[in-house]
Chain A
Amino acid sequence: MLPDTLLRTGRIWNVEQSFLLGHLIPFRVTTAIEIRSLSRVFSGRKETLALDDINLTVEEGELFGLLGPNGAGKTTLIKILSTLLLPSNGTAHVLGHDVYSDANSIRKRINMVSGGEISGYGLLTIRENLWMFTQFYGVPRVVAKKRIDNLLDIFGLQDKADAKLRTVSTGQRQKMNIIRGFATDPELIFLDEPTLGLDVSTSIDIRNYLREWISECSSRTMMLTTHYMKEAEELCDRVAIIDRGRIVAIDTPAGLKRRVGRGSSFLIEATPFNPESIQSIPGVRAFVARPSEDHMHLRMILDDESVIADIISEIVSSGAQVTSLNKNEPTLEDAFMHLVGRGLV
């Protein structure tokens, strides 16, 4: 049972860590998100288990990533934590408050942005849309104005600030929504695929901003969902790999990559062939085939190097030609394949 004073201040001691470390050094770790045995079922004509017995702890100050394919349950989890959806079973505490019974205490301190989000009132200008939401969060007018101007500058939207939202591009609407999330200066922000559909340079700018935002203040926490491996690898302190509603692994990106094992990740390029038979070769742990116009790219995790001979022989026997073979340092994508048994896309 947690002490009332800690619950009231919205800080839960991470009991194990504080017990182990607290006796030796004056170190305190607080928990931003605590999820226990959380499940979510969507009923309808066909019942769907979107989240299945999720257990997860995210510490304050962490940039935590949820990595998984479409339909893995990432958005459902974000919706539950941001108080938009109720869980079917289990508990979730955000900043010390129960999402089920104490949603109002959570809402003051969080915000959420969904990637590809083009929401907003088209009749209002970008500045008016942003200002309105800061007022809903009780941000003082002067502070709100300064913060909005600063964020508009950072995201390159200053020249569109007074344009009606209906007149700007989809990408600019998306940027406005990202600003909306940060303009209220939340303690914890949920970003659901924040760079979805954005061009490369904008995505880089956004990632840079996310890094800067989290490093500015040690009490800020971010939970990010993505299916971009690079994004998770570049940004996240820890990543949970989620597949079919279950968390398969939680670790740092480096830790996840270590699980693959050195010398087991290969990339083969060949002329087009049917890759289905590769899966049945003994020693192939997982593979992803990405066909292009005149080539087939195969990314594989193998039990050991000797399997590669069987794979080449299979490709050649199917009438294709191997044009290149590379042995790679494991990436997060390899880690995903290793843990899930298939590729992300």
Chain B
Amino acid sequence: MAIKDHLRTLKISAWLGWQIESNWARPSLFLLYSFIRPIAATLILVIMYLIVKQNVASEPALFSYMYLGATFYMFVSSVVFGITYVIHTDREHYQTLRNIYISPISLYVYLIGRAAGKVALATLAVIISLIFGIVVLGLPFNLLMVDWILFVPTMALGMACLISLGLALAGISLLTAKHSTSINEGVGGLVYLLCGAVFPITVLPAWGQAIGLTIPITYWLELIRRSLYPGEGIELLGGLQDFTDGTIMIFLLISTLIFTMLSLTMFHYADRIARKKGKLDMITTY
């Protein structure tokens, strides 16, 4: 298949994804929802933090660590579970998966395109959440201090990693119609727990830390924090203080590559089994 065919698939499926994400309500209601949802999501943690620590200024680095982790974790939930959910909704709700499957497009590219809408919305949510944190909660942040050279490739690798993880779970979803939601929630909880999303991985038992260090999201979140708060002491909190930015970037790159290869293999294998077992147009009405 030619690259222009893939690009066309990417464009059309991204358009479809955006229509589905944004077209369910009136524009004003959609805009309101887009503002309220990320703020509500992060406020839960903020309130918990304030109950324990009384105010943000007492430990600004710790507050930034937690707030940034919770904010950027929105990408994980949107992109990873968004891709998986495409399989579920296209097969069961829209009943279009079989038509898409037998069309001459790459299912990988289609799913990545559908994820683009999720990435766009998650980016909006993260920006809104950051602005809310800075303006309302006094999150210490200086745009001029951001290490963009570190931030941009970190985000690119992070997205690649999240899309790969999404594809792997989408593969599982092809085979298990009834359980895809619970698998998403289970994986989401584990990633949240093991990757240092809101607390350093050093609080985990040794085996938990070992698992956390094999997941690229751990390195991604660490580099996001370091690039947005260079030299503010935030790097001392995550349990990766012995490693330089460059070393962590190499860890992120290698683990993302391994993750991507594993995910593609897994999806390919799941696709073959699903076609063999007749699961591609299975309607469970579950």
Contacts and interface: CB of A to CB of B under 8 A. Distances in A.
Interface of A: 42, 79, 82-86, 104, 107-108, 110-112, 117-124, 128, 132-133, 135-138, 180
B102 A138 contact: no
A83 B102 contact: yes
Contact of A121 (B1, B19, B98): B19
A180 B94 CA distance: 15
Contacts of B105: 136
- Ranked nearest first, the 6 interchain pairs of A and B with the lowest CB-CB distance are A119-B95, A108-B104, A107-B104, A136-B103, A86-B276, A123-B23
A132 B275 CA distance: 24
Nearest to B278: A85
Contact of A133 (B23, B94, B99, B281): B99
Contacts of A104: 1, 104
Contact of B5 (A110, A111, A122, A138): A138
9 contacts: A84-B98, A119-B98, A119-B99, A121-B19, A124-B16, A133-B103, A135-B8, A136-B9, A136-B100
A284 B99 CA distance: 45
A137 B103 contact: yes
Nearest to B276: A86
A96 B101 CA distance: 20
Contacts of A118: 95
A120 B94 contact: yes
Given A84-B98, A84-B275, A138-B8, A121 B20 contact: yes
A180 B99 contact: yes
A136 B96 contact: no
Contact of B102 (A86, A110, A135): A110
Nearest to A138: B5
A122 B99 contact: no
A123 B275 contact: no
A84 B280 contact: yes
Contacts of B104: 104, 107-108, 136-138
A108 B101 CA distance: 12
Contact of B12 (A83, A84, A119, A132): A132
A133 to B, nearest CB: 7
B95 A121 contact: no
Interface residues of B, number: 28
Interface in B86-143: 94-96, 98-105
Interface string B3-45: 0010011001001100110011000000000000000000000
Contacts of A123: 19-20, 23-24
Interface in B264-286: 272, 275-276, 278, 280-281
A120 B96 contact: yes
Contacts of B8: 135, 138
A122 B278 contact: no
A106 to B, nearest CB: 9
Residue with the greatest number of chain A CB neighbours at <10 A, chosen from B16, B20, B100, B104: B104
A111 B98 CA distance: 11
Contacts of B100: 136
B23 to A, nearest CB: 5
Interface in B156-201: none
B122 to A, nearest CB: 20
A136 B110 CA distance: 10
A311 B162 CA distance: 73
Contacts of A86: 272, 275-276
A86 B9 CA distance: 25
A82 B275 CA distance: 11
Given A82-B102, A84-B280, A85-B275, A136 B94 contact: no
A5 to B, nearest CB: 23
A118 B16 CA distance: 18
Nearest to A165: B94
B17 to A, nearest CB: 11
Given A86-B275, A104-B1, A121-B94, A132 B16 contact: yes
B281 A84 contact: yes
A124 B5 contact: no
Contacts of B1: 104
A336 B1 CA distance: 45
Contact of A84 (B15, B19, B101): B101
Nearest to A181: B99
B106 to A, nearest CB: 9
